[in-house]
Amino acid sequence: MEMPVFVDKKKDIGMKERIEALMAEIEALSCKSEQEIEEARVRLLGKKGSVTALFEEFRTVAPELKREYGQKLNVLKNTAAAKIEALKEAAAEAPAAGAASFDYTMPGDPVSLGSRHPVSIAREEIVSIFRKFGYDVAEGPEVEDDWHVFEALNFPPEHPAREMQDTFFISDSDNPVLLRTHTSSVQVRAMEKMPLPIRIVCPGRVFRNEAISARAHCIFHQVEGLYIDENVTFADMKQAILLFAREMFGAQSQIRMRPSYFPFTEPSAEIDVSCNICGGKGCNVCKGTGWLEIMGCGMVDPNVLEASGIDSKKYSGFAFGMGVERIAMLKWQVRDLRNYFENDLRFLKEFETSL
């Protein structure tokens, strides 16, 4: 007897095709958000999901097809479950998990920029004022020899500034190596090398063996100035410094000179500028005097010119030197020098607008 053909059309209503179609759909699944993935899981594997429905239907499949279709259905179910898992993992890992809801028109988080250090701001302002007056910028080494820091600047051998308390010596041979105590060393180097006339400012770091306090530090910055030509006079110096003070501290500023002494200048003076806080009336910044001390200066001593090979009969000149931290303190009323060296962001951020 011939075996009946058991493909009962009613009981195999295109199940194979539907399994294949569902398989293709599962493989192409690409939802990203957790919510979409969960919806897909319910749609496929939930109680009323399409895979679950196929399993229900499977019960009615003809026995001789059960093996084949059962395998196919199991593969389908496993594939669906694996796909859902993979999508979940990808969603958890992807940094752009919320990409679908990311609003690209939102303003970004502000990037916090660094600001210039007040000492740099002050130094550059000093230098740029003198540049406008026609001065060039010269620089020299921080590690120096005795000649450029003292000897050529007319410091007598027994001068106290050479002593260990003031100067950091690196070697104490007959020709000691030391850290420069002032930028006046650069004027010596300039006079030795540069053609005349010379008109320069020399900004730089200097070092002194001093106890650190609100008013003193072992490292600070200076700007040295030097002008050498024929017939340079004390009046020229006074005018240059007055113009500088007005650019730096305001057009109303006055200066006054007090006689002083430096080995490398004769005559020498110290310059005060009228207090820019009280306008000269007297306040606690100028300690009631109406004046603030800003620099030392003088006519370059003929001995200094000659030591660098310049004919002191033909040439004359003036020099000046100022502390950058001091100028910055006066300009911004900083009361403690240590603020400049501690890198406290609360202090530094106050200068952000001076960029």
Give the interface with ligand DAH as residue ranges (CB under 6 A).
182, 184, 224, 262, 265, 296-298, 319-321
Query: Residue with the closest Cβ to ligand DAH?
Result: 321
Of residues 203 and 321, the one with the C-beta less far from ligand DAH: 321
Label the pairing between strands 177-179 and 143-145.
antiparallel
Please name which of 51, 41, 50 lies closest in space to residue 87, comparing C-alpha atoms: 41
HSE (CB half, 13 Å, CA atoms) of 253? Answer: 26
Of residues 145 and 350, the one with the C-beta less far from ligand DAH: 145
Q: Give the shortest CB-297-to-ligand DAH separation in angstroms.
A: 5
Q: Give the N- to C-terminal CA distance of the chain in Å, as an integer.
A: 103
- Strands (DSSP E) contained in the chain are 136-137, 143-145, 169-171, 177-179, 198-207, 219-229, 255-262, 265-274, 291-300, 316-323
Of residues 54 and 119, the one with the C-beta less far from ligand DAH: 119
d(CA 76, CA 69): 10
Of residues 290 and 323, the one with the C-beta less far from ligand DAH: 323
Of residues 70 and 197, the one with the C-beta less far from ligand DAH: 197
Of residues 22 and 178, the one with the C-beta less far from ligand DAH: 178
- Tokens for 339, please give them: 């603020």
- Tokens for 140, please give them: 């020299």
Q: Give the shortest CB-325-to-ligand DAH separation in angstroms.
A: 13
Q: Give the shortest CB-165-to-ligand DAH separation in angstroms.
A: 15
Q: Give the shortest CB-247-to-ligand DAH separation in angstroms.
A: 19
Q: Give the shortest CB-138-to-ligand DAH separation in angstroms.
A: 13
Q: Give the shortest CB-122-to-ligand DAH separation in angstroms.
A: 16
d(CA 285, CA 282): 8
Of residues 148 and 182, the one with the C-beta less far from ligand DAH: 182
CB atoms near residue 101 (< 10 Å): 7
d(CA 129, CA 211): 32
- Angle, CA of 169, 171 and 175, to the nearest 5°: 100
- The single-letter DSSP state of residue 224 is E
Q: Give the shortest CB-183-to-ligand DAH separation in angstroms.
A: 7
